[in-house]
Amino acid sequence: MTEEAVHLTGLSREELERFAEGMGEPAYRGRQIFSAVQRRRLRSFDEMTDLPKAFRERLAAEAVASTLTVESRYVAADGTRRYLMKTSDGMPVETVFIPEERRDTVCFSSQSGCPLQCDFCLTAKLGLLRSLTAGEIVEQIVIALNDAYGVGAKTPRGTNLVAMGAGEPFLAFDSLMKALGVMADREGLFIVPNRVTVSTAGVVPKIKELATIPERPHLAISLAAPNDELRDRLMPINKRWPLHELLAACKEFEASLRPGERFTFEYVMLDGVNDSDEHARQLARLLNRHHLRAKVNLIPHNPADPLPYRPSTEERVESFKAVLEAKGVHAFVRRPRGRDIFAACGQLAARGGEPNRPALYQIS
């Protein structure tokens, strides 16, 4: 892909209409392109046979419909699929498809690597390579759905999206929101924001900005610790926006919650680090003090070398959960998916080669 080529997968229907008109074609050609790329999930101009051949040839000279290539694909015992993709400039992108009973879920990345250095997350060892474009975000979902169902086939159970792959979504905020807008179009993928959850480590200004967006996704906050001292160590972003600022932003965000909607706080359970009953009491006090409509997802740590942590025992997780619930905090245990292919939360790190060997940025 040349720098001048326009990535059509990241453009809205209206932008594609203007793009077609700029090429001297009627606006409806742009709508045809949008339908081909988004609804039918085609990734090659040659497949868009409803377009005149001469127009397709001109498109191939000025634009691209696909930029990501799948380097590796692994399937876990529970049906979870992990994809290692590569951008046109060689950056690794990881995406996970999670089959579920009612709706399947695609966990997508917003960045290649991540700058936040959370101590329990393998992606942090990569550092930030770059943020992804809107088109690269949308392409991940297109590739996963095509692999699961076939090109152009309808999704039998619908699709949920979670921005919990590699990267901090709120550091790629504009690209993320643009991608969600493109995917929400009923003439395309039609995955509306109400079926999307975005997880942040706590970028306070963007939490406040998200609250102002009428058609917004659900928000999840990664906490990992109930006090600043421990969170500073586990999640260095806390030194920039400590817990009192983060929870104040959440309280401000609460005004935008829809009926029945709650905050989701993600709490990774690290054996002997943040999983005591006292930690649970501290967490309950923290949330209750701010009177937040919230639930807490308890996530047993997904181990991977070279991370120094172990997952909390099942008994410890249940005890932690019981303390929270006794204090009036809704708590749930989130079971890991795809752990055997390193597709579980916190395990993505651009692996190539053997799926059960955690390498960093090793593309086979």
- C-alpha angle with apex 309: 234 to 341, nearest 5 degrees? 110
Burial 74-105, CB ≥16 within 10 A → b, else e? bbbeeebbbbbbbbbeebbbbbbbbeeeeebb
List the alpha helices (DSSP H) in the chain.
13-22, 27-34, 53-62, 134-149, 173-184, 204-210, 228-234, 243-253, 277-289, 314-326
Candidates 338, 335, 339; CA nearest to 80 is 338
Give, in order, the Cα–Cα distances in Å from 112 to each of 24, 73, 164, 169, 273. Answer: 36, 17, 13, 11, 28
In contact, 347 and 80? CB cutoff 8 Å: no
The residue among 235, 17, 22 whose CA lies nearest residue 115 is 235
Burial (CB < 10 A; 0-12, 13-18, 19+), residue 227, is middle
* Annotation marks residue 345 as catalytic: yes
Select from 45, 5, 244 the least CA-distant residue to 135.
Answer: 5
In the annotation, is 15 catalytic?
Answer: no
* Cα end-to-end span (Å), the chain: 21
Catalytic position from the list 94, 139, 168, 266: 94
Taking a C-beta distance cutoff of 8 angstroms, is the pair 110, 165 a contact?
Answer: yes
* Contact by Cβ (8 Å): 244, 201: no
Amino acid letter for position 203: V
Q: Of residues 107, 118, 121, 345, which has the active-site annotation? A: 345
211: number of Cβ within 10 Å: 17
Rounded Cα–Cα distance for residues 29 and 27 (Å): 5
- Annotated catalytic residues are 94, 345
